[in-house]
């Protein structure tokens, strides 16, 4: 029997065949005009990698190249790629990553999108518990977090149920994990292969009126590896890792009140060790609940302030304080590998920006404070548009806190950068 990915490939060929008559008809009416590619190429200097290593002084280059074309009102195609030289991982060599390559078709209330695509869900500002579909490359040297996203091969369908309601479904034939820093990982690890089965997600979304919102469900795998301790031989410790099975119910909303934007996002996830050949998932299950609530407001002509509170609640978390002295170092290391430092975590995020000189200069300050772990991240950014085609950007990522805290464990990723960009 053909795999799910092969079936999606056959569906893509069928869509292309269906599109051909429409495209040919369009060509008979008038000659097709194809838009030129567009994007941005950057050259920059970064004081450090984002791989949690000791490598410093990185000269890098990155190009985002995109091309879009509409054959007619029903059929469109979109291509997007990131070309990089020393801009990810251990910053050695060149990389070319296809982020998007899909065909999109409209048929009345139904919109279909087939191919490689970025799927981003959630309404909170940059902290999105319901955003589980598109993986990220957390080692990429880019100023904006959204540019870390990696496309996935998927079939996405959106069906309008009325003027304000839409049902979205996403089918992913093959799991793709996050790309995470490797410089600080211990050598005594045994990571299971990434799962090869598919994923799916549903979302019912309301837009328009006094408020926007959605409810969603995701059935797939955690894109982060989860680690535990194993002793294959006496006195031999191995950190064993695998991608857990993940089922998450989520919701978000956005509205306005007295000139302030108000938004929130919530997700409740159930995790368990993957056991594809078993009648039921093997091993202990755990649950994680995440909540984000925030407000934002425009100030004057170009300024904005955004403040959010977030909280995380975990079941099945084992405190290292209760471990025997000989096992405590291993427990602390597992917490760092899993980025978990307590059953309950909470904190605040702040983002403030302003624009000057007819929007040519933008200054932004971002910060996240982990109140439970007493750690944080400060991220100032400045960008200046010399012209429509040339832009300068500079910034700093400053992590602080104890080693056993979310941001303190990332102190090796402290850096400053400067980039010159050419927009085309």
Identify the pLDDT of residue 366: 98
Report residue 246 as tokens.
Answer: 């993940």
DSSP state of 176: -
Number of domains forming the structure of the chain: 1
CATH number at residue 385: 2.40.160.10
Please, which residues have CB within 8 angstroms of residue 193's CB and are 6 or more apart in sequence? none
Q: Is 243 exposed, middle or buried (0-12, 13-18, 19+ CB in 10 A)?
A: buried
Strands (E), 134-259: 152-160, 165-172, 189-191, 199-206, 211-221, 226-233, 236-242, 245-257
Please write the tens of the pLDDT for every residue from 215-251: 999 999 999 999 998 887 877 899 999 999 999 999 9
Backbone angles phi, psi at 263, to 5 degrees: -145, 155
Identify the pLDDT of residue 390: 98
SS3 assignment for 300-330: CCCEEEEEEEEEEEECCCCCHHHCCCCCHHH
Please write the tens of the pLDDT for every residue from 86-134: 999 999 999 899 999 999 999 999 999 999 999 999 999 999 999 999 9
Domain span at 252: 4-423
Rounded Cα gap, residues 217 and 249, in angstroms: 5
208 has a pLDDT exceeding 50: yes
């Amino acid at each position: 029997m053909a795999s799910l990915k092969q079936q999606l490939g056959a569906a893509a060929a069928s869509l292309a065949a269906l599109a051909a008559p429409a495209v040919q008809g369009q060509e008979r009416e008038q000659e097709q005009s194809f838009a030129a590619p567009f994007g941005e190429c950057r050259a920059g200097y970064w004081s450090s990698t984002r791989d949690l290593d000791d490598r410093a002084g990185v000269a890098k280059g990155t190009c985002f190249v995109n091309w879009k074309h509409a054959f007619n009102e029903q059929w469109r195609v979109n291509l997007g790629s990131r070309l990089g030289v020393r801009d990810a991982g251990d910053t050695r060599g060149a990389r070319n990553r296809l982020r998007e390559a899909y065909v999109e078709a409209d048929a009345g209330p139904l919109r279909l999108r087939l191919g490689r695509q970025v799927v981003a869900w959630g309404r909170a500002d940059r902290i999105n518990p319901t955003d589980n579909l598109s993986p990220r490359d957390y080692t990429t040297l880019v100023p904006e977090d959204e540019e870390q996203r990696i496309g996935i091969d998927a079939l996405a369908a959106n069906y309008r149920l009325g003027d304000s309601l839409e049902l979205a479904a996403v089918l992913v034939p093959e799991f793709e994990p996050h790309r995470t820093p490797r410089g600080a990982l211990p050598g005594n690890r045994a990571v299971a292969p990434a799962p090869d089965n598919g994923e799916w997600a549903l979302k019912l979304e309301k837009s328009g009126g006094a408020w926007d919102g959605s409810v969603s469900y995701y059935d797939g795998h955690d894109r982060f590896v989860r680690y535990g301790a194993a002793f294959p031989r006496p006195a031999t410790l191995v950190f064993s890792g695998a991608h857990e099975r993940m089922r998450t119910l989520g919701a978000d909303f956005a509205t306005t009140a007295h000139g302030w934007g108000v938004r929130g996002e919530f997700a409740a996830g159930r995790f368990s060790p993957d056991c594809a050949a078993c009648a039921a998932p093997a091993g202990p299950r755990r649950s994680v609940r995440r909540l984000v609530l925030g407000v934002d407001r425009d100030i004057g002509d170009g300024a904005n302030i955004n403040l959010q509170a977030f909280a995380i609640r975990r079941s099945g978390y084992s405190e290292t304080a209760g471990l025997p002295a000989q096992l405590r170092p291993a427990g602390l290391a597992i917490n760092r590998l899993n980025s978990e430092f307590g059953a309950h975590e909470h904190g605040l995020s702040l983002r403030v920006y302003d624009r000057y000189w007819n929007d040519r200069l933008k200054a932004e300050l971002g910060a996240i404070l982990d109140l439970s772990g007493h750690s944080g991240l400060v991220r100032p950014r400045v960008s200046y548009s010399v012209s429509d085609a040339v832009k300068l950007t500079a910034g700093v990522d400053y992590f602080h806190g104890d080693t056993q805290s979310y941001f303190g464990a990332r102190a090796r990723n402290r850096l400053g950068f400067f980039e010159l960009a050419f927009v085309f």
